[in-house]
């Protein structure tokens, strides 16, 4: 079957489950003022690496929107807090699609580090904006926690890089998901001459 621009049922169900997992992981994060230890980016990476940038963006947007609403309600900065995860879904999905969804373990590790660094830097910018809007800004909040935030970022990226490759391989093998670029029209049945 030729892959079309329309979502398949498996893809929609997978995205919905990953959105829910993203929201739960975000909600259960360890939150220490400007340092947040969370694994909410893992389902976004999975969606992006399995299906591409649209799915990565969708899971990033919907998953973090649900989490933001449950934890803080809608605020003036809700979209800003969603933005790093939307960008994460785009970057990972775009790269996966460019590589025809065939990424080796080394590439996946480097991609994960880059994505986590982007999320950390964008979240740091959002902390700055949020703190100025709501009046809780002080300079050491940003500069003092940046080193710790980067250490947490690199640790998460290493963990994600190690578990993502076998996880994606298992999902594709056992979940019936194929590489999107390898799906082509079914071969015509051979006619045997009798």
Sketch the domain layout of the chain as residue ranges: 9-182
Q: What is the pLDDT of residues 16-45, one digit of tens each?
A: 999 999 999 999 988 876 678 899 999 999
- Model-level pTM? 0.84
The percentage of residues in the chain with a pLDDT greater than 70, rounded to a whole number, is: 85
| pLDDT at residue 166, rounded to an integer | 93
For residue 188, what pLDDT band results from cuts at 50, 70 and 90? very low
Q: Report the topology of domain 9-182.
A: Arp2/3 complex 21 kDa subunit ARPC3 (1.10.1760)
What are the beta bridge partners of residue 36? 31
Burial class (CB in 10 A: 0-12, 13-18, 19+), 154: middle
Token duo for residue 133: 């809007």
Instruction: Report pLDDT digits (tens) over 103-150.
Output: 999 999 999 999 999 999 999 899 889 988 988 887 777 777 888 889
CA 74 – CA 63 distance, rounded (Å): 14
Exposed e or buried b per residue across 126-144, where buried means at least 16 C-beta atoms within 10 angstroms of its C-beta: bbeebbeeeeeeeeebbee
């Amino acid at each position: 079957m030729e892959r079309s621009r329309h979502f398949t049922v498996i893809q929609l169900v997978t995205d919905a489950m990953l959105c829910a997992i993203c929201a739960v992981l975000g909600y259960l994060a360890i939150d220490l003022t400007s340092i947040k230890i969370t694994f909410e980016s893992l389902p976004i990476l999975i969606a992006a690496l399995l299906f591409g940038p649209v799915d990565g963006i969708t899971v990033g947007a919907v998953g973090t929107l649900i989490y933001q609403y449950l934890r803080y309600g809608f605020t003036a900065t809700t979209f800003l807090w969603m933005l790093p995860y939307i960008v994460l879904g785009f970057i990972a999905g775009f790269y996966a699609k460019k590589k025809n969804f065939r990424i080796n373990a080394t590439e996946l590790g480097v991609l994960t580090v880059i994505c986590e660094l982007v999320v950390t830097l964008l979240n740091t910018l959002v902390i700055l904006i949020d703190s100025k809007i709501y009046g809780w800004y002080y300079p050491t909040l940003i500069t003092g926690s940046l080193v710790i935030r980067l250490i947490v970022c690199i640790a998460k990226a290493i963990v994600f890089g190690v578990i993502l490759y076998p996880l994606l391989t298992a999902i594709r093998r056992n979940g019936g998901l194929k590489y999107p670029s390898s799906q082509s029209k079914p071969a015509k049945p051979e006619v045997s001459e009798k």
